[in-house]
Amino acid sequence: MANDKSGTQKTAKAPNPNRALRENLEPLSIRGLTSIDHMTLLARQGWLVEASTTGFLIEIERRGLAPKAFRDSLSLQALEGDRVYLMIDDMNLEVGGTITRTHRVSKDRWQIAIDFREDAPEYWRECLLELLPKPGGF
């Protein structure tokens, strides 16, 4: 806890109790990020870089984006709220969820946060998290 200029102690903002902390992963290749709502391929390829029991974070390069409108755009905010699925080839696993946040990291890279579908059982999400490669795990 830190003190402000008046000497009063400030408390840190409490995290959302419905969100689990994401763990860093060894980047894992994904492909075929597709919007179910629009039946549109959004990205040909990318990387799964963080995961938790409530969702995961992927990174997408500009050249991996399928619609030209997104390759030419500075924001992917229009995708927030879309229901999507993607394939993790190394695990032969298709996962789905809802895009909750997009963030432009650099000129040519975006991060997309995806929450798992509501019908994904908690035990399945916990097992998936255990199976995903952690940095230095291999």
pTM of the model: 0.81
Residue 19 falls within a domain, yes or no? no
In the chain, which ranges are continuous DSSP H helix?
68-71, 122-131
Q: Tens digit of pLDDT for each residue in 94-138?
A: 999 999 999 999 999 999 999 998 888 999 999 999 999 888 765
Residue 22 falls within a domain, yes or no? no
The CA distance from 33 to 51, in Å, is 16
Q: Is 99 helix (H, G, I), strand (E, B) or coil?
A: strand
Residue 53 falls within a domain, yes or no? yes
Average confidence (pLDDT) over 69-74: 83
Domain of 37 in residue numbering reads as: 27-131
Residue 18 falls within a domain, yes or no? no
- What pLDDT was estimated at residue 98? 97
Residue 1 falls within a domain, yes or no? no
Residue 48 falls within a domain, yes or no? yes
CATH assignment of the domain containing 126: 2.40.10
The CA distance from 113 to 98, in Å, is 8
Q: Tens digit of pLDDT for each residue in 19-64?
A: 667 788 899 999 999 999 989 999 999 999 999 999 999 999 999 9
Q: How many domains does the chain have?
A: 1
